[in-house]
Structure formats: structure tokens, C-alpha cells
Amino acid sequence: MDRITLHGLRARGHHGVLPREREEGQPFIVDLVMGLDVRAAAADDDLAKTVDYGTVAEQVTAIVTGEPVDLIETLAERIAQACLKHERVQEVEVRIHKPQAPITVPFDDVTVTITRSRV
């Protein structure tokens, strides 16, 4: 299976269980790896035979900036399901970074990674 990857999609969301997270919001970073067969698209040089990663990026950003959820696990699931709605995408790995998570000790990043596929 071929892969199309988007790294570092950034958007401000209001996700989290704490009131401060919901009120103030914080940055979220999303990495996606979409699995699909791109041979037909490459042979015909035809965008319709692959996935438009610009459209996917806009959809992901809309999800992150949209309706708040408590858990980034839920956010990752919503993003994965949106990616799988694209006909050519057979599987997707979604990694959500929450670099400003409310943790009281020094840390670099918090991530949740999920993989979903058509079954």
C-alpha cells in the first residue's frame, strides 16, 4: 500500500476536560498517514484517482477548530473517520500532539496515535 503523509497540521482547538482548556483553547498538531493505492493516479496523472491532501488538511483543521471534546482520543477518532470517507483511502494513522497539555511536570509533548482501516 502506498502512503500520503501530512505532518504538522496546526490548529487551535478547545478540547480537554478542564474548564481552562475549553475557555482558552490551545494548539493541536496533527500528523496523518493515509494508505491507498496511487498507481492509477500516477499512471494517468489524475488527481481524481488519489486523495486531495489539500482537502483533507482543510477537513482536519475544521474538526480541530470545531466542536470541543474531552479527549484527544475522541478527536483522533473523528479525524480518522473523516479521512476514511475519502473513497481511495483504505487506512489512516492519526497522531494528535497536545504540546501544551495541563501537566504539572516538564514535558515535551503528549500524543495519541490511532490506526483505522476499512474492514
Instruction: Indicate which residues carry an active-site annotation.
Output: 98
38 secondary structure, DSSP code? -
Handedness of CA 80, 81, 84, 87 (dihedral sign): negative
* Percent composition of the chain: helix, strand, coil (DSSP 3-state, to 5): 35, 30, 35
**Which of left, alpha, beta for 21 (phi over 0: left; psi -120 to 50: alpha)?**
alpha
